[in-house]
Amino acid sequence: MTTKILIIGACGQIGTELTTKLRGIYGNENVIASDIRKLNNDIVNNGIFEVINALDYNQIEHLIEQYQITDVYLMAALLSATAEKNPAFAWDLNMNSLFHVLNLAKAKKIKKIFWPSSIAVFGPTTPRENTPQFTIMEPTTVYGISKQTGERWCEYYHHQYGVDVRSIRYPGLISWTTEPGGGTTDYAVDIYHKALEKGEFECFLSKDTKLPMMYMDDAIRATIEIMQAKPDAIKIRSSYNLAGISFTPDEIANEIKKHIPDFTISYKPDFRQKIADSWPASIDDSSARKDWGWNHQFEIDSMTQVMLENLKK
């Protein structure tokens, strides 16, 4: 049976690159991109695109039937810093879009679901260094609360109804193709833009705030690898810890200075500092490495080189 993919939230930070990659693997005609609005970009112009509201069950069901969809990647969500400004809508979008897709799988309308979780599920009481797969989770943000709840529902639907849902807890993601999207870790994207444009950057986190990060290519590869893994390899149906590199704003600034010697950074922590302080500094992802062979490829030096080279173009 042909794999037919629907990506909900295809124009977002992860969705953009995921759509391009999946189209390369499965063919343009087998990957349907969708989002709440139609932008003039490659995702819309280079393949099948549908306008869809992730909160509309009937719309999603209609697309699944129309295109005979087997796999859904639900990438629509309100991120950490943005969600804090609109908690009720964030909860509604992050939770009910997931229920719609889980219920469609329960009804056997689709075979497989990918749903992203996040390091935001952890909180200030979680062990910060080498955060274990199974540990105390007391998130203090709306985004984190919705992701933690989502993990519980994913596991429940798998055990109760046999739904094949797969998930990873993304760390902060760094990419040159999309603008920063309202996340607490997005300083690590913006810093490259500002380094090239202005030669200086004002950081909204303190210089020694260490957070788990990952270059987008690694995150996209992990997403596709977990979906391509055999069902019995996926031992965890809540969400897998995923790690790449952990660094501080000071460390990334020093790496940039190797390429742009005159670059300067200043620090003015705002409300996002409190969010960052509640998250892990590093992640233990040994379960993902053991179960389905995950391995990151990018380190801070290789990532910085690729970011600056591509942003210059």
Rounded to 10°, the helix 87-106/57-67 angle is 40
Is-contact 252 301, C-beta < 8 A?
no
The full DSSP string for 100-149 is HHHHHHHTTS-SEEE--EEGGG--TTS--TTB-SS------SHHHHHHHH
The residues annotated as belonging to the active site are: 143
CA angle 246, 247, 250 (to 5 degrees): 175
What pairing do the DSSP bridges indicate for beta strands 5-8 and 31-35? parallel
- Residue in the block written with tokens 């997403």: 223
Is-contact 95 147, C-beta < 8 A?
no
Q: What's the chain's Rg over C-alpha atoms? A: 19
Is-contact 121 169, C-beta < 8 A?
yes
Residue 195 host element (H or E)? helix 187-197
Neighbours of 232 (CB within 10 A): 7
Is-contact 216 251, C-beta < 8 A?
no
Taken as a whole, the chain contains a residue count of: 313
